[in-house]
A = this chain, B = another copy of it.
């Protein structure tokens, strides 16, 4: 189901090492459903992958490096979701915002454990922090840009707060809510409520209230 590519375009056959790396990553993703990253011992990872503990260090530098690799698996989907922030044509704002938020929630539902571990590791691992702050930057950037477009068009309420500050708060808010939502049992009703609430806050904060 999941896989890591060799360098793009490489026709090199999947080597044995790739397979073990894969097995480690799969085991890690599975274990993260139960425990946090630093509760996972290296030998849990390797016994799950059918190799000895020391072999782990041939494939990864550390547990954090595993998380980094897992993050890359998810990042692609995240960027797709980011593209949704940009409003399409004449569609009303409520629709595009709801759709974008729905997409983010769905992604957190699909990869909650990895995303939560990544968020937590931001405070710990320089490597992970760099990666995810870049992701966050793109989200915030495109949101701020969109807010500015709407303000220039006279559709959105003017600042202060600046488009950038507002975008930062809104994006962080989404992340926080997705994090805590993904901790609970999967529930379509709860998902819908969160999407509705977040959408309402976005709309009111950016556009004001529809009378």
Contact = CB atoms under 8 A, between A and B. Distances in A.
Interface-centre pick from A124, A161, A168 (highest chain B CB count, 10 A): A161
Count identical subunits in the complex: 2
A196 B159 CA distance: 10
Contact of A172 (B176, B204, B208): B176
A74 interface: no
Instruction: Enumerate the 4 nearest inter-chain pairs by beta-carbon distance, A residue then B residue, closest first.
Output: A208-B209, A161-B197, A173-B173, A165-B197
A23 interface: no
Interface in A126-183: 157, 160-162, 165-166, 168-170, 172-173, 175-177, 180
B165 A204 contact: no
Nearest to A209: B208
B196 A204 contact: no
A19 interface: no
A72 interface: no
Contacts of A38: 38
14 contacts: A157-B204, A157-B209, A160-B196, A162-B193, A165-B194, A168-B197, A169-B197, A172-B177, A173-B173, A176-B176, A200-B205, A201-B201, A204-B204, A204-B209
A91 interface: no
A121 to B, nearest CB: 11
